[in-house]
Copies of this chain bind each other. A is one copy, B any other.
Amino acid sequence: MKSVKVSLKNNPYKILIGTNLINSLGKILEEINPGTDAYIISNPLIKNKYGKALSNALAHEGFSVKFKLVADTEKSKSLGCAASVIQDITRYDKKRRIFIIALGGGVVGDLAGFVASIYKRGIPYIQVPTTLLAQVDSSIGGKTGVDLSQGKNLLGAFYQPRLVLSEINFLKSLDTRQIRAGLAEIIKYALIKDPVLFNYLQKHYREILALKTAPLEYVITRCSAIKAKIVELDEREEKGIRTILNFGHTIGHAIETAGGYSFYNHGEAVALGLLVESRISEKSGLLKPGISEKIESLVKATGLPTKIRKEISLEKIIQAHYRDKKFIGKENRLVLIRNIGKAEVKKNIPLEIIKSALKERITGQG
């Protein structure tokens, strides 16, 4: 088992990464003492697979357990769904010391964290992410949220979990498309902070796709440590440090939004975002020529998309980009890279550069 500390002054917590951790969860929670009554938010598929094991591990240490299932779709990240979960909690919450466990991917984690942040002005919660994407990214750092029709994550809070438990065995039942989605975020970490990880991925991506335990544990631990460090320095994204985690995401989100969320999953959109933003870095004179090709080779090798489907027009992407919530005042902001492992926030990128980098990626417009 690997352990990564998130050393926040007011809310320090650990990220545990390894195999067969679920069976020890009861014992681990006894030490953290988040409460006595576990309210587990999950989806039907995940509960079916792991609910029993988790229940047993908790009940064995004397925790009461109640499951709340939400649909396994982005639609569950709504204020309506949050309200219905909270109504359910109030019915369960009779003279109890409730804490929440998020057992699922990013949707469940974001929703559960948001509910935990606002119920009774905050109750403890635990992240037990079940996808590679959630293990390396969304479960860490306390960004919680739900969507509005006007945009994703428009409601939310910074609210840290008491523990993140990344069980590698969970990943063994994911399909390749989901593993690839996680790989996109992992490549992002390499690009913003870790050239060694980039080299490792070039050599070992096949083993990750083949779900080998050791390389999975290595990359999850490495990404967790990178994210922990960044979150420690800038918990609430106020200092422009945490912002670099958005590399690939500004354009990625715009592509997702422009496509009505029907063509790409989040990781795939981020992969496209990474490629576009690398090229913007190059076209802005920040990144020396040749490197964005290396990045594209790796993305392509993993099986992630490298071209934007022609159904998604340049105009729509640009429109969605201008509605992005990172758009502050009238100036746009993008995270760009100077080299592999070196990212920085840049303002007022000329629209022409953004358009031209996007055009290259749109099938038939390149």
Q: How far is the CB of A235 from chain B (nearest CB, A)?
A: 9
CB of A97 within 8 A of chain B? yes
Partner of A95 from the list B87, B148, B236, B327 (CB cut-off 8 Å) is B327
A154, B120: Cβ atoms closer than 8 Å: yes
CB of A4 within 8 A of chain B? no
Q: Per-residue 0/1 for A205-241: is the Cβ within 8 Å of any B Cβ (1 yes, 0 no)?
A: 0000000000000000000000000000000110000
Known: A83-B79, A86-B155, A95-B330. A121 touches B143 (CB 8 A): yes
A148, B87: Cβ atoms closer than 8 Å: yes
Q: Which residues of B contact A329 (CB under 8 A)?
A: 36, 95-97
List 8 interface pairs A-B (beta carbons < 8 Å), by A numbering.
Answer: A36-B329, A95-B329, A114-B118, A118-B118, A118-B157, A120-B154, A121-B237, A122-B158
B121, A158: Cβ atoms closer than 8 Å: yes
Q: How far is the CB of A32 from chain B (nearest CB, A)?
A: 15
Partner of A148 from the list B90, B143, B156 (CB cut-off 8 Å) is B90
Interface size in chain A (residues, C-beta < 8 A): 37
B150, A90: Cβ atoms closer than 8 Å: yes
CB of A351 within 8 A of chain B? no
Alpha-carbon distance A90/B150, docked complex (angstroms)? 7
A155, B118: Cβ atoms closer than 8 Å: yes
Chain B minimum-CB-distance residue to A117? B157
B145, A121: Cβ atoms closer than 8 Å: yes
Q: Which of A95, A118, A148 has most chain B Cβ within 10 Å?
A: A118
- Given A114-B118, A118-B118, A121-B145, 19 more A-B residue pairs with CB atoms under 8 Å apart are A36-B329, A79-B79, A79-B83, A86-B155, A90-B150, A90-B151, A90-B154, A91-B150, A95-B322, A95-B327, A95-B330, A97-B329, A118-B157, A119-B155, A121-B156, A121-B157, A121-B158, A121-B237, A122-B236
Q: How far is the CB of A217 from chain B (nearest CB, A)?
A: 31
CB of A325 within 8 A of chain B? yes
Which residues from 77 to 109 on chain A have a C-beta closer than 8 Å to any C-beta of chain B?
79, 83, 86-87, 90-91, 95-97
Q: How far is the CB of A13 from chain B (nearest CB, A)?
A: 15
Which residues from 239 to 285 on chain A have a C-beta closer than 8 Å to any C-beta of chain B?
none
Q: Which of A36, A83, A114, A155 has most chain B Cβ within 10 Å?
A: A155
